[in-house]
Amino acid sequence: MFKKVLVANRGEIALRIIRACREMGIATVAIYSECDANALHVKFADEAVCVGPPSALKSYLNIPNVLSAADITGADAVHPGYGFLAENQQFARLTADHGMTFIGPSPETLATFGDKLTAKAAARKADLPLIPGSTGEVPDLETAIKVANEVGYPIMLKAAAGGGGKGMRVVEDDEGLKAVFAITAAESQAAFASSALFIERFLKAPRHIEVQVAGDGRGGARHFGERDCSLQRRNQKLVEEAPALGLTDEVRAGLRKAALGIVASTSYRTVGTVEFLVEGDEFFFLEVNPRIQVEHPVTEEVTGVDLVQLQIRLAAGEEFDFDQSEVSIKGHAIEVRINAEHPRTFAPSPGRITGFHLPGGPGVRIDCAVHDHAIVQPYYDSLIGKLIVYANSREEAIARMRRALAESVVEGVETSIPLHRELISAPFFANLSFHTRFLEKWISERYG
């Protein structure tokens, strides 16, 4: 097992990793930018190294500085968390070149799943169902129009190297495709250093269901059930829950089998998520997220498995010490993301927190790295914490989340808490009558 892990991240996920390491008897090193010197992940790590000024490009994304911090502190492994360098194959390769273990997939696996076209090719090879569309890149507008007409409008135009809900557009007809093709390619080049685009059939009302998985790198695979992440705005998740209810037994079994299949066939090593779109009794492969995810706590709550510790053990070369039959799913968990942003306009709201109280009581978990008088920095993602509740049933979990949100106080900055209070209390949420495009329309009709 590792003796010292450098945590190449910040905020709540850095603190989550530090906690997991401490329980395992592993020393930790935090990195921080100049503006994060007083952050909680810095305070709770065993050591801390400043890696640059506030700009993420000059600090948390500065590979030479991050690896230098690992070298000088004698770390024998690096955990990237999510975001920043978590899916950077160059960083994974250089970490290994420096004699340290990257707690995540191999560089080759990151290359496969970091590009949506190669990920689809891997899924096709593993016999996963794919959304009808182009079999590869559409290199020019003429090809794109031909493929779009074969697939049938409306279609989704996507950046091959895209992620996080970016680099995608719904197109209704040839004229619309002509208007956005070059723009989307240029935006993709600017954001992802690749202008490659592809086309998929547009699903009008799908649910976003993901299967939590883990692989040992030797073909061994385990799943930990499904999560429903359908409540999204601009393809960004706001609410997640486990298990995903409302699926037929056949669809649920198919999702799990498909997820295990792609993990085993790609010699995947680490935890991760295989994501699908489900519409009616059909499901289609969407992508693989080869890392720990923001919403992992809901799976931990219903399975009792510490996914971060499992990730560390797999990176250390350990084998699974449990069979698939030993993974049981009990109760129901819901997570809401507390973002520092206006609850209606979603504009970022950085600043100093002047009043702070988060809830407690039975079945309430807080993954958060801010506190009273902490400064929410303008340089990074607006996520400041996650509120997770667990109960015996979905109905009880909803009631518990309503109670927990009523107790939640964050003053000095705008947050998404008021929006979550409305969402959790809405009839559509209780009735499971929503899909990935539902929330955009609901917000537009409610607030204009």
Do 268 and 181 have their domain in common?
no
End position of a domain, from candidates 175, 201, 227:
201
Do 408 and 272 have their domain in common?
yes
Look at residues 84, 26, 153, 96 and name the one whose alpha carbon lies nearest to residue 292: 84
Partners of 356 in the β-ladder: 410
DSSP letters, 58-69, are GTTT-HHHHHHH
Does any domain span residue 115?
no
CB 291 within 8 A of CB 80: yes
**273 vs 6: CA distance, rounded Å:** 23
Do 179 and 232 have their domain in common?
no
**268 vs 330: CA distance, rounded Å:** 27
End position of a domain, from candidates 180, 201, 222:
201
**36 vs 39: CA distance, rounded Å:** 5
What is each CA distance from 354 to 87, 228, 410, in whole angstroms? 35, 34, 8
Does any domain span residue 123?
no
Does any domain span residue 370?
yes
What is each CA distance from 377 to 38, 55, 88, 382, in whole angstroms? 12, 10, 24, 8
pLDDT the model gives residue 5: 98
pLDDT the model gives residue 354: 97
pLDDT the model gives residue 164: 61
Does any domain span residue 117?
no
Look at residues 425, 426, 431, 430 and name the one whose alpha carbon lies nearest to residue 442: 426
| CATH at 85 | 3.40.50.20
Do 305 and 438 have their domain in common?
yes
Do 156 and 60 have their domain in common?
no
Does any domain span residue 110?
no
In angstroms, what is the C-alpha Rg of the chain? 21
pLDDT the model gives residue 161: 85
Does any domain span residue 339?
yes
Do 155 and 220 have their domain in common?
no
| CATH at 342 | 3.30.470.20
| CATH at 159 | 3.30.1490.20
Do 360 and 388 have their domain in common?
yes
Do 259 and 290 have their domain in common?
yes
Do 293 and 311 have their domain in common?
yes
> Which range of residues forms the domain containing residue 82?
4-101
pLDDT the model gives residue 165: 65
Does any domain span residue 177?
yes
What does each of the 448 residues of the chain score in pLDDT, given as a tens digit? Answer: 999 999 999 999 999 999 999 999 999 999 999 999 999 999 999 999 999 999 999 999 999 999 999 999 999 999 999 999 999 999 999 999 999 999 999 999 999 998 888 999 999 999 999 999 998 899 999 999 999 999 999 999 999 887 666 788 999 999 999 999 999 999 998 888 899 999 999 998 999 999 999 999 999 999 999 999 999 988 889 999 999 999 999 999 999 999 999 999 999 999 999 999 999 999 999 999 999 999 999 999 999 999 999 999 999 999 999 999 999 999 999 999 999 999 888 999 999 999 999 999 999 999 999 999 999 999 999 999 999 999 999 999 999 999 999 999 999 999 999 999 999 999 999 999 999 989 988 888 887 6
Q: Residues for the chain: how many in total?
A: 448
Amino acid, single-letter form, for residue 73: T
Does any domain span residue 304?
yes
Look at residues 405, 406, 404, 397 and name the one whose alpha carbon lies nearest to residue 429: 397
Do 32 and 161 have their domain in common?
no
pLDDT the model gives residue 441: 87
Do 399 and 303 have their domain in common?
yes
pLDDT the model gives residue 446: 82
**351 vs 377: CA distance, rounded Å:** 7
Strand ranges of the sheet holding 47-52, from the earlier edge strand across to the other edge: 47-52, 27-33, 4-7, 77-79, 101-102
Total of domains in the chain: 3
Catalytically active residues, by annotation: 291
Do 196 and 225 have their domain in common?
no
Please, where are the H alpha helices in 74-163? 89-97, 107-114, 116-125, 141-151
End position of a domain, from candidates 153, 172, 201:
201
pLDDT the model gives residue 401: 98
